[in-house]
Structure 1
């Protein structure tokens, strides 16, 4: 704007600009405010959904722990209703544990495979893969069990995995490979019972 333009001219220029662009400015402001309120509403809805999932998860796990009639069905319903949340994966792990206790290994394996396919969390994946490996070993599918252990990536699980690998190899009848796995587990710092297993192999 020219510094020599009079105040009246400046006012006229502003009026003309507003007349030409005013609707766009107002529309932009409305859209901006609408987006802000829409985002806040979305955030509130997300928080409410999280709270509902958390409460339902707590009730489901309590039912599974107490052995309530219909608890397993309740857990399946929860998994279906909240399948995109971590709570569903946690529930699948809990349900698989109960199914293992009831010696329903096929159903437990299915739950664990579902959990593996629905999370990228290393800690949850480590739990699921090792539990599935134990089930496969119990079903004498030793090679599949060992392959399942190869999928555990979390560093903090390396010692546990090496020891479990030794257990499975021992079940398979490969004492030499089992000993190697136990020694590897010992290097990584595994359970206190590991030395007993090594001593048994030395006899």
Structure 2
């Protein structure tokens, strides 16, 4: 009989504990399970989104290697989808750069400019923004919009000091500012150091003669 009483006391204690903490335990279990399910769902979503973005990027690359108005339309369509639906994907800024280069090669300067301006203002990859600015400056130089071109390369990241100075020299020369162009190219030479690109910059300086 003592054994039965002892068991009954344990059951009573367990019921009392459950009455007090049972709801809390159930809530905690629910939160944990929901968190696990949510995390796995998020991982699936991320993987699915990355796969879709990669598909559009590959479609863009394929269209960039083709010719004709249909290819241009596919380039722009793929880029627009990447920009609107996959803004934070790593494929998007790279796809936009590919689109800009392909459009510029087809002499669609306004189309290429629109791509690069979007990248400068919206890229989720800050490492590609200096590249976009450099290319945009070159494109604006082609369009003879010199002040806007110079504005794109006003502040050079250390890794782009030589390239920005070289492009600044090109723009200044196009404006007829020969002495300032030479100064910019000399700065580029200093930044490039022993890089083979420095030889090209030196040829530009030599072409100025005694200017």
Give TM class, smaller chain: 0.7 to 0.9
1:132 has 2:136 as partner: yes
CA distance in structure 2 between the partners assigned to 1:184 and 1:42 by the alignment: 49
Change (3 A) 1:20 1:122: closer
Determine the structure 2 residue equivalent to 1:66: 66
CA distance in structure 1 between the partners assigned to 2:68 and 2:156 by the alignment: 33
1:20 has 2:17 as partner: no
1:177-198 deviation digits (Å, cap 9, x = unpaired): 1111111111101612111111
Is contact 1:96-1:107 (8 Å) kept?
yes
Normalising by structure 1, what TM-score?
0.86
Determine the structure 1 residue equivalent to 2:55: 55
Unaligned runs of 5+ in 2: 1-5
Determine the structure 1 residue equivalent to 2:81: 81
Determine the structure 2 residue equivalent to 1:38: 38
1:147 has 2:151 as partner: yes
Determine the structure 2 residue equivalent to 1:91: 95
Shift of 1:122: 3.5
Is contact 1:132-1:148 (8 Å) kept?
yes
Unaligned runs of 5+ in 1: 1-5
Normalising by structure 2, what TM-score?
0.83
| Counterpart among 189, 194, 203 of residue 201 in structure 2 | 194
CA distance in structure 2 between the partners assigned to 1:14 and 1:22 by the alignment: 10
Is contact 1:125-1:152 (8 Å) kept?
no
Is contact 1:96-1:109 (8 Å) kept?
yes
Aligned length: 197
Shift of 1:46: 0.8
Change (3 A) 1:93 1:33: same
Change (3 A) 1:11 1:111: same
CA distance in structure 1 between the partners assigned to 2:69 and 2:150 by the alignment: 36
Is contact 1:75-1:91 (8 Å) kept?
no
Determine the structure 2 residue equivalent to 1:3: none
Change (3 A) 1:68 1:139: closer
